[in-house]
Structure 1
Amino acid sequence: MSRRVSDVMTRGSRALPLDATLYDAARIMRDEGIGDVLVTLDGRLCGLVTDRDIVVRGVAERRDARHTPLGEVCSADLVTIGPDDDLDTAARLMREQAVRRLPVVDDEQRPLGIVSLGDLARAGGVDPGVLSGISQAPPNL
């Protein structure tokens, strides 16, 4: 039987509303030792902001972290996955989309967690060549 995303995903991923600031996201990342925060609108996933987004789209663009809303810097064109999808589907999506993490959402697009490349590697059962190909893909901006 194939393992499901819900078996390996990180649950309880942090989320902030679209109008929260870069400063809010950066503090959560620092305090919790994480590199990404889900962005929501009315409880539904609408974006993802990473520590890299804060640096490249925020700091390097001289944006004021205390006043810049996440909506101005987060990635909004997300590829998501459901908790009942199998790990091979997650690996395929990561490879095809050149992403290292996938938000896990329910049928109404409410965030449930995140499955990362590291989660797949630790789970085993996914072709290591596929994982290597994902990790070598250039990051998307």
Structure 2
Amino acid sequence: MLRMIFRISIRRQEPSMKVKDVMHKGAEFADSATPVAAIAKQMRDADIGALPVKAGGRLVGMVTDRDIACRALANGGDFNRMTAKDIMSGRVVCCTPDDDIADAIDTMEKKKVRRLPVTDRDENIIGMVSLGDIAHKVGKDLSGEVLRAVSAHHR
């Protein structure tokens, strides 16, 4: 009986999917001094909703289309003088290409983020993984769970 259970559990194990199997390779980014208007145009032209922000070659934040709408436009600041540094979210959560996609999904759920920059060992941005990327590569049940968890409002 024990052998049979052991064999069944081995057969059920599947190779884990890695972030590199799901991510978009390459990533646009902005410097922290980049004007918000330029960031908006860059996002429009690249058809993306988020840009990692670098300062001194290091990843220091993230600007999303929501940041532009809520922190720049809705707050009534001088849009023409604002930069990435003024509206970015700090404390960026990242992953590596060799991380299990399950770990990346767990991070997205816990941090309630829709995108994760993918960095190499030297912390260079080499890609991005988003909810959309995950939805195209993993099962519908799992991608639906992630979407619900990330989209849930804070209580």
Query: With structure 1 as the length reference, what TM-score do the two structures score?
Result: 0.89
Residues 1:136 and 2:130 aligned together: no
Cα deviation for residue 108 of structure 1 reads 2.5
2:33 maps to 19
2:18 maps to 4
Residues 1:87 and 2:104 aligned together: no
Cα deviation for residue 131 of structure 1 reads 2.0
Letter in 2 for 1:133: R
More divergent stretch after superposition (122-131 vs 46-55): 122-131
2: CA distance between counterparts of 1:131 and 1:17? 30
Cα deviation for residue 135 of structure 1 reads 4.2
* Conservation of the 8 A alpha-carbon contact between 1:121 and 1:131: no
Cα deviation for residue 86 of structure 1 reads 1.0
Residues 1:58 and 2:78 aligned together: no
Residues 1:77 and 2:97 aligned together: no
Residues 1:44 and 2:58 aligned together: yes
* Conservation of the 8 A alpha-carbon contact between 1:18 and 1:71: yes
1:97 maps to 111
Cα deviation for residue 64 of structure 1 reads 2.5
Letter in 1 for 2:46: E
Identity between Structure 1 and Structure 2 (%): 37
1: CA distance between counterparts of 2:46 and 2:143? 29
State the Cα RMSD in Å: 1.8
* Conservation of the 8 A alpha-carbon contact between 1:99 and 1:134: no
Of the two, which has the highest radius of gyration? 2
2: CA distance between counterparts of 1:80 and 1:50? 15
2:7 maps to none
Query: With structure 2 as the length reference, what TM-score do the two structures score?
Result: 0.81
Map 1:102-117 → 2, pairs under 5 A: 102-117=116-131
Letter in 1 for 2:60: C
Cα deviation for residue 128 of structure 1 reads 4.1
* Conservation of the 8 A alpha-carbon contact between 1:44 and 1:111: no
Cα deviation for residue 90 of structure 1 reads 0.8
1: CA distance between counterparts of 2:77 and 2:28? 23
2:11 maps to none
Gaps of 5+ in 1: none
Gaps of 5+ in 2: 1-14
